[in-house]
Amino acid sequence: MRRLRALLRTPLGVCAVVLLLLVLALAVAAPLVWGAQATAVDTDAIQQGPSGAHLLGTDALGRDLFARTLVATRLSIGLALLAMLIGVTVGTLLGTAPAVLPRRAGRVIVAVVNIAVAFPGLLLALFFAVVFGVGTTGAVLAIGFATAPGFARVAQTLSASVAGRDYVAAARIAGVGRLRVLVRHVLPNIAEPLVVNATIGAGAALLSFAGLSFLGIGVQAPSYDWGRLLGDGLNRIYTNPAAALGPGVAVVVAGLAFNLCGETIAAALGHRTPLRRLLSRTSAPAAPVPAGADDTDPVLRVEGLSVRFPTAVGWAEPVRGVTFTLGAGEAVGVVGESGSGKSLTALAAARLIERPGVVAADRLEFAGRPLLSAPERELRTLLGTSLAMVFQDPTTSFNPTRRIGRQLAEVAQEHQGLGRRGALARAVERLAQVRVPAPAKRAHQYPHEFSGGMRQRAMIGMGLMGTPRLIIADEPTTALDVTVQRQVLRLLDQVRRDTAAAVLLISHDIAVVTQTCDRVLVMYAGRIVEDLPAAELTERARHPYTRALLAVVPDLAADRDRPLGVIAGRPPEPTALPAGCAFAQRCRYATDECRSADPQLTPVGDDHRLACWHPVTDSGADTTDARISVEGSR
Ligand code: SF4
């Protein structure tokens, strides 16, 4: 509201309010003030031009055209708004339905909308006008249905863009149903452009109505709107141009009022969630988060995991036969270059791979439950309470239109049956637990009022709303400065020790992983190529790719004026994987055997697995063996 008030003080806001109030005031008052004058027949003043007594002249019955133009405001505006309401409602329903309906039904709706959008709006309006019949009701329905496909397309596009945001993924992990995700997270974030479109559409509907009435298939006598007056005036354009000018100007002014008002409201809509009363009481201390340290079964068991996507040239398989387990309280880091499949592996474990992606595995279990075959309802509850996700970009991790506390509270409301107040109290406690200062106050703030580091801590706090057994952190510190990065990593470590939750840390930064994790999985071209204890990474790494990764990590002795080192060459495309080792083209040890047969991940010692025909045998990172180049720039 504060933002809206500020906007209303700008020249744009003032113009919008003045014009809209003028139009609305006329719509309400004009029939009362000028109604009698507008219908009074005066046979002595038939078809007169403008004069002091009749500013726009008179019509064929001697009625005052100025009064009639003012009185027509109510019907013109009312019908245009009604048509627009129908268009926006039907369009938004059609546009967002694919997000909640089964895939096939969603596709049918998308196809119908695509076909409808291909027709010009006026043609559709005329078509529907014929279908619904001549008259006011038919015209309202015709314009409403004719504008719906355009809104449906806008709503579809906007929904699709919002559906990919991290906070939607977080809500889905929290077990929030599709309809609720749509209402709580998608619609509020597409409201602004929809309102702008609706406002512009109201002006367009006004014009369309004028057009239909002008053609004689809109408002019928004895009723009249600006379109009918315009039509009558155009017949006398050479003898009394004011008769057409009056309703024409009225249409333009009303359209302008809608447009300016829409722009003002849209600018304020980013913060439109109603203010809630601050929570005055604090809840009883929360029960300590149950630890899963006694569990002997792995928290996450992944065997033969593959993720595939259809492409124009066949199936791409960016994750191929990945196998690992993650025990309670264990921290495992996954490292590799961009496109190595590390994030997709984590997303598959969180069940966040959407169609047309296909996830397959010999075994994919979380907390002993099969992720690929367990009932949907059971998994929603399990993942919602036991899996926490921390995303890379703290600016997209939360829904910008909802207060932080409410977003955390959603998990407790959804799965723990807490009421609004109790859930919010728990959210405040969790914010305090992740060391967000003044948590009661912060819970009522919006994400943009949090710093990047604080948002990441709040995200971890969201994971703690349940009883997390696994925390997946996908590049959680990439967007943060070094100091905040260290704080977030320490917090993750603290949470792991306090709750015995397992941590799967995805990072391109091998230094971060070695400092934070117990074990490191090195991924290349969709496969794990080496798995070994983090503490022994620099000493025991034997895969040429791992050695190359280690070699490009800058140390204290590195020349800061020189570009950062990179590994020469590029990983193969997932659609064009070689028959043998995927690293062969970049590896100086490659032999014919490497190029013809793909090495499998096999144990080579205690806690050490390796996929290489010719492991490097000397110790430590070797910058010469790895053929390091310095192509990058700092
Ligand atoms: S299998 Fe051959 S090409 Fe692949 S990493 Fe090992 S030595 Fe290099």
Provide the pLDDT for residue 633: 32
Index of the ligand 1 atom closest to the CA of residue 599: 1
pLDDT band at residue 123 using 50, 70 and 90 as cut-offs: confident
State the chain's mean pLDDT as an integer: 79
Going from the Cα of 327 to the center of ligand 1, the distance in angstroms, rounded, reads: 30
Mean pLDDT lowest for which of 154-168, 195-209, 310-324, 523-537?
A: 154-168
The two structure tokens encoding residue 463: 């994971």
Nearest CA to ligand 1 atom 1: 612
Q: What is the mean pLDDT of residues 313-329?
A: 90
Provide the pLDDT for residue 118: 73
Provide the pLDDT for residue 554: 62
Q: What percent of the chain has pLDDT over 70?
A: 85
SS (H, E, C) 588-612: CCCCHHHHHCCCCCEEEECCEEECC
Provide the pLDDT for residue 2: 59
pLDDT band at residue 325 using 50, 70 and 90 as cut-offs: very high
Question: Is 589 a pocket residue for ligand 1 (Cβ < 6 Å)?
Answer: yes
Provide the pLDDT for residue 273: 36
Secondary structure (DSSP) of 389-420? EE-S-TTTSS-TTS-HHHHHHHHHHHHS---H
Question: Is 613 a pocket residue for ligand 1 (Cβ < 6 Å)?
Answer: yes
Index of the ligand 1 atom closest to the CA of residue 587: 8
Angle at 463 between CA 365 and CA 381, to 5 degrees: 50
Question: Is 572 a pocket residue for ligand 1 (Cβ < 6 Å)?
Answer: no
Angle at 307 between CA 301 and CA 309, to 5 degrees: 165
Question: Is 476 a pocket residue for ligand 1 (Cβ < 6 Å)?
Answer: no
Provide the pLDDT for residue 174: 62
Going from the Cα of 615 to the center of ligand 1, the distance in angstroms, rounded, reads: 7
The two structure tokens encoding residue 596: 């013809």
- Compare 23 and 184 and report the one with higher pLDDT: 23
Q: What percent of the chain has pLDDT over 90?
A: 15
Nearest CA to ligand 1 atom 6: 612
pLDDT band at residue 173 using 50, 70 and 90 as cut-offs: low
Going from the Cα of 133 to the center of ligand 1, the distance in angstroms, rounded, reads: 75
Provide the pLDDT for residue 267: 63
Q: Could you tell me if 42 and 17 are in contact, meaning their C-beta atoms sit under 8 angstroms apart?
A: no
- Compare 128 and 565 and report the one with higher pLDDT: 128
Q: What is the mean pLDDT of residues 75-97?
A: 88
Provide the pLDDT for residue 284: 34
Mean pLDDT lowest for which of 86-100, 214-228, 613-627?
A: 613-627
pLDDT band at residue 436 using 50, 70 and 90 as cut-offs: confident
Q: Give the architecture (CATH level 2) of 300-630.
A: 3-Layer(aba) Sandwich (3.40)
pLDDT band at residue 630 using 50, 70 and 90 as cut-offs: very low
Three-state SS for 138? helix
Question: Is 583 a pocket residue for ligand 1 (Cβ < 6 Å)?
Answer: yes
Distance separating alpha carbons of residues 425 and 284, to the nearest angstrom: 9
pTM for the complete prediction? Answer: 0.59
What is the per-residue pLDDT across 610-624, written as a single tens digit (0 to 9) for each?
999 999 886 544 444
Going from the Cα of 622 to the center of ligand 1, the distance in angstroms, rounded, reads: 15
What is the per-residue pLDDT across 261-304, written as a single tens digit (0 to 9) for each?
777 766 665 434 333 333 333 333 333 333 443 446 789 999 99
What is the per-residue pLDDT across 509-556, written as a single tens digit (0 to 9) for each?
888 888 889 999 999 999 999 999 999 888 889 999 999 888 877 655
Q: Give the architecture (CATH level 2) of 2-25+75-227+250-269.
A: Orthogonal Bundle (1.10)
Index of the ligand 1 atom closest to the CA of residue 591: 2
Distance separating alpha carbons of residues 589 and 312, to the nearest angstrom: 34
In a 10 Å sphere around its CB, with 0-12 CB exposed, 13-18 middle and 19+ buried, how is residue 186 labelled? Answer: buried
Three-state SS for 564? coil
Provide the pLDDT for residue 626: 41
- Compare 271 and 604 and report the one with higher pLDDT: 604
Q: Could you tell me if 545 and 528 are in contact, meaning their C-beta atoms sit under 8 angstroms apart?
A: no
Going from the Cα of 613 to the center of ligand 1, the distance in angstroms, rounded, reads: 6
- Compare 434 and 169 and report the one with higher pLDDT: 434
Q: What is the mean pLDDT of residues 55-64?
A: 86
The closest alpha carbon to 95, from 182, 180, 181, belongs to 182
Provide the pLDDT for residue 205: 81
What is the per-residue pLDDT across 380-413, written as a single tens digit (0 to 9) for each?
778 877 888 887 776 777 887 788 888 888 877 7
The two structure tokens encoding residue 176: 């929030």
Index of the ligand 1 atom closest to the CA of residue 590: 3
Q: How far is CA 503 from CA 326, 456, 507, 542, in A?
A: 8, 15, 12, 25
According to the per-residue pLDDT averaged within each range, which of 192-201, 289-298, 318-327, 447-456 is highest?
Answer: 318-327
SS (H, E, C) 539-563: HHCCCHHHHHHHHCCCCCCCCCCCC
| Every domain of the chain and the residues it spans | 2-25+75-227+250-269, 300-630
